[in-house]
Structure 1
Amino acid sequence: MAHSHNNLHQQDMKDRNLMVSILLNIVITVTQIVGGLVSGSLALLSDALHNFSDVISLVVSYVASKLSKQKASLNRTFGYKRAEILAAFVNAATLIIVAIILIIEAVERFNNPQEIASDLVIWLSFIAIIGNGISVLLLKKDSENNINIKSAYLHLLTDMLASVAVLIGGLLMKYYQMFWVDSVLTLLIAFYLIYVGYDLLKTSTKMLMLFTPDHINLKAVVRTVNKLKKVKKLHHVHIWNLSDDELHLEAHLDLNDDLSTSEFNTLLITIEALLHEEFNINHVTIQPEYKKDDSKDVIVQD
């Protein structure tokens, strides 16, 4: 009960931190849009666009976090546990889409440079750094073990770095009249968004497609189970992430002997403990078999 209460408290804190970050980014986005239009800074407007994508990503993450707590039902036997993976996929995709839009706008502005009110750019980018910095600190801890929060965290981290770049650009424009740097910084921001977005998109796609997690050596899992005395061969194996903290294994188990139900239960308990200890697999579904005439390949698409 103490563990359950502590876990619930952590989830509530995670949701609260997300909500605070949403409110901070709404304020930043509005001020940057106004400031970008007044100053004529494309870098500031691009930062505002990125911040707006942050707001969307944070809202998606917040809703997904809330949904993931919903209980399972007859027509939703897993509940909404995969909502956070879907949210991470959507957030990663928006990072890349925003980056492409920024590249197009930066190239267009580079060909038609404009004078920019640098003082406003400097102050607004400084405010954005503080706001995003607070949000980054709020989400950092949870981002280490939750792909949904990590997607929101990356949005905020890249936006904080983008604001730093805009600040530097504003200083260069103010003291050296290097107005072309506005477009260059926008391009750098866009390329960085693609870099971080692609990695997250690849990870979330693998999870949605039920691929074997990268850190799992499936052959090692099979070898570990096959070493047990009463086991002949583990086959028809599937290992996937249902969510960040749920790793499932489904397989057929060919037995050396015709075990009774109680004997198999004892063996199953041993297998579950072994897989959890060695590979952190916390949900095991095994179909026992004895002299069944079917394929005994480790991987079978069925």
Structure 2
Amino acid sequence: MGHTHHHHHHHERSGKNLLISILLNIAITVAQVIGGIISGSLALLSDALHNFSDVLSLIISYLANRFTTKRASSKRTFGYKRAEIMAAFVNSATLIVIAIILIKEAVERFFQPEPITPALVIWLSALGIAANGFSVLLIKKDAESNMNMKSAYLHLLTDMMASVAVLLGGILMYFYQLFWIDPVLTIAIGLYLIYMGYDLLKSSTKVLMLFTPDQIEVDNMVREISENPAIKNMHHVHLWQLNEQEIHLEAHIDFHENISIQEFDCILKDIEERVYHNYGITHVSIQPEFGKCHSHQVIVQD
């Protein structure tokens, strides 16, 4: 019960931090659009577009964070436990798309540099760094243990780095008229974005596709459970991650003898404790069998 309360409190805190970040990003976007039009800065306008896409991503993360706390029902027996994984998948995919667009724009701008009004660019990019830096610090802790919050964190971190690039570009343009520096920095940020986004996209895809969690060796686990003298073999094993807190195991176990339900309950309790402590598996469903004649393969394509 204490864990549930802690988990709910964690969701409330991260939801509140996301909401603050959304409002800050809306303010930055509006300021940068106005500033970009006045100064004629394509860098500021592309940064504003990037910020706006982050507002949408943060809203997705916020909604997923809210949905996760909704209770299960007869229509949704798992509730919305996968909402945050889906948000992480969508956000990491958009992160890569945005990075490709930024790189494409930067390459074009590199060959056709445009003179701009650097002073306004410097001030507005500094505002972007301050607001996004604050947002990054707000959700950094939650990003360490949650894919959804990590996707929001990466969007904000990228925003901050893009603003840093625009600021450096603005300073160099102001003092040295080096208009090519802005696209070079933008390309560097875009490549970093693809690198980070791909890692998160891969992790969230594995969860959505019901892949076996990386840290679990199925054969080792089956061998360990089968050491019990009452167990003949373990087969039809399915192992998947529901979300970042829950790993589910279901399997068929063939017994040497026609044991009682009471004896099976004792064996089941031992299996649950063993897989929880050794593999982090939180939910176990076992189908007991005796004398059945069918495939005893550990992994079966149902």
Q: TM-score range by the shorter chain?
A: over 0.9
Contact 1:109 1:183 survives alignment (8 Å):
yes
Matched with 1:28 is 28
What does the per-residue CA deviation read over 1:211-270, in whole Å, with 9 as the maximum and x for residues that have no partner?
A: 011122222221221122322222211111111101111111122222111111111111
* C-alpha distance in 1 between matches for 2:2 and 2:239: 30
Note the C-alpha offset of 1:5: 2.8
Contact 1:132 1:156 survives alignment (8 Å):
yes
* C-alpha distance in 1 between matches for 2:132 and 2:229: 56
Matched, 1:99 2:99: yes
SS in 2 for 1:86: helix
* C-alpha distance in 1 between matches for 2:181 and 2:264: 69
* C-alpha distance in 2 between matches for 1:218 and 1:45: 51
More displaced stretch, 204-213 vs 112-121: 112-121
* C-alpha distance in 2 between matches for 1:93 and 1:36: 27
Matched with 1:84 is 84
Note the C-alpha offset of 1:36: 2.1
Matched with 1:210 is 210
Matched, 1:49 2:57: no
Note the C-alpha offset of 1:101: 1.7
* C-alpha distance in 2 between matches for 1:279 and 1:113: 55
What does the per-residue CA deviation read over 1:15-46, in whole Å, with 9 as the maximum and x for residues that have no partner?
A: 11111111111111111222222223333222
Superposition pairs of residues 1-150 of structure 1, within 5 angstroms? 1-150=1-150
Note the C-alpha offset of 1:11: 1.5
Note the C-alpha offset of 1:111: 2.5
SS in 2 for 1:235: strand
Q: TM-score, normalised by structure 1?
A: 0.96
Q: 1:223 to 1:232 in 2, by over 3 A?
A: same
Q: Which amino acid aligns with 1:49?
A: L
Contact 1:41 1:116 survives alignment (8 Å):
yes
Percent of aligned pairs sharing the same letter: 60
SS in 1 for 2:294: coil
Superposition pairs of residues 224-263 of structure 1, within 5 angstroms? 224-263=224-263
Note the C-alpha offset of 1:8: 2.0
Matched with 2:176 is 176
Q: 1:2 to 1:77 in 2, by over 3 A?
A: closer
SS in 1 for 2:47: helix
What does the per-residue CA deviation read over 1:150-169, in whole Å, with 9 as the maximum and x for residues that have no partner?
A: 11111111211222222111
SS in 1 for 2:17: helix
Contact 1:49 1:98 survives alignment (8 Å):
no
Note the C-alpha offset of 1:4: 3.1
Superposition pairs of residues 223-302 of structure 1, within 5 angstroms? 223-302=223-302
Q: Which amino acid aligns with 2:27?
A: V
Note the C-alpha offset of 1:89: 0.6
Matched with 2:160 is 160
SS in 2 for 1:157: helix
Contact 1:42 1:182 survives alignment (8 Å):
no
* C-alpha distance in 1 between matches for 2:186 and 2:199: 21
Contact 1:46 1:186 survives alignment (8 Å):
no
SS in 2 for 1:236: strand
What does the per-residue CA deviation read over 1:121-153, in whole Å, with 9 as the maximum and x for residues that have no partner?
A: 111111111111111111111111111111111
Note the C-alpha offset of 1:119: 1.3
* C-alpha distance in 2 between matches for 1:178 and 1:46: 19
Contact 2:88 2:147 survives alignment (8 Å):
yes
What does the per-residue CA deviation read over 1:72-111, in whole Å, with 9 as the maximum and x for residues that have no partner?
A: 1111111111111111111011111111222222222222
* C-alpha distance in 2 between matches for 1:36 and 1:213: 46
* C-alpha distance in 2 between matches for 1:26 and 1:123: 17
Note the C-alpha offset of 1:177: 0.7
* C-alpha distance in 2 between matches for 1:227 and 1:54: 52
Structure 1, unpaired ranges of 5+: none
Note the C-alpha offset of 1:206: 0.8
* C-alpha distance in 1 between matches for 2:254 and 2:9: 43
Count of residues paired in the alignment: 302
Backbone CA RMSD of aligned residues: 1.4
* C-alpha distance in 1 between matches for 2:36 and 2:257: 74
Q: TM-score, normalised by structure 2?
A: 0.96
Contact 1:40 1:117 survives alignment (8 Å):
yes
